[in-house]
């Protein structure tokens, strides 16, 4: 089973993917680690506010995990199952190639947590 956050499966959200690649560069990460806590916290709050506004302005399809991206990821990693979040809309289906694709609910939803049972089986349920 391959477990991923799922944000990179939103391949139609090119603005977010571009920002993500910049924020994960070595130089930005180094800078974040060396700024005073008050400065880095202020930058983080500002980025979060901008993110909320940007998400609200996007079309639903732009924010949705794309099936083709999930199929490519599962195939590339030879995964029999792909578990991800990010989309916050539960789904449990088979991808082309046979891999099981599970997207967890948003926090507080009925299936927002995945656990491995005592026999190694995947259990989906609420976080409570």
51 and 70 share a domain?
no
22 and 45 share a domain?
yes
Q: Is the pLDDT of residue 113 over 80?
A: yes
72 and 118 share a domain?
yes
68 and 98 share a domain?
yes
Query: How many distinct structural domains can be found in the chain?
Result: 2
Supply the pLDDT for residue 26: 95
Domain boundary among 61, 76, 92: 61
Tell me the residue range of the domain where 32 lies.
14-61
Residue 28 banded pLDDT, cuts 50, 70, 90: very high
78 and 89 share a domain?
yes
Supply the pLDDT for residue 89: 84
Rounded Cα gap, residues 70 and 17, in angstroms: 16
106 and 91 share a domain?
yes
Q: Is the pLDDT of residue 74 over 80?
A: yes
Rounded Cα gap, residues 4 and 11, in angstroms: 15
Q: Which residue has the higher pLDDT, 78 or 85?
A: 78
Q: How far is CA 40 from CA 58, 90, 99, in A?
A: 27, 34, 40
Q: Are strands 91-94 and 81-84 parallel, antiparallel or unpaired?
A: unpaired
Domain boundary among 42, 61, 80: 61
């Amino acid at each position: 089973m391959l477990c991923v956050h799922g944000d990179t499966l939103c391949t139609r959200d090119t603005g977010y993917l571009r920002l993500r690649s910049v924020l994960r560069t070595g130089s930005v990460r180094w800078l974040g680690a060396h700024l005073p806590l008050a400065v880095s916290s202020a930058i983080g709050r500002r980025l979060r506010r901008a993110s909320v506004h940007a998400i609200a302005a996007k079309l639903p399809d732009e924010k949705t995990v794309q099936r083709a991206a999930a199929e490519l990821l599962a195939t590339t990693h030879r995964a029999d199952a792909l578990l991800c979040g990010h989309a916050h809309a539960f789904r449990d289906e088979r991808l082309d190639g046979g891999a099981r694709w599970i997207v967890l609910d948003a926090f507080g939803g009925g299936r927002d947590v995945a656990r491995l049972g005592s026999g190694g089986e995947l259990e989906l349920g609420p976080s409570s």
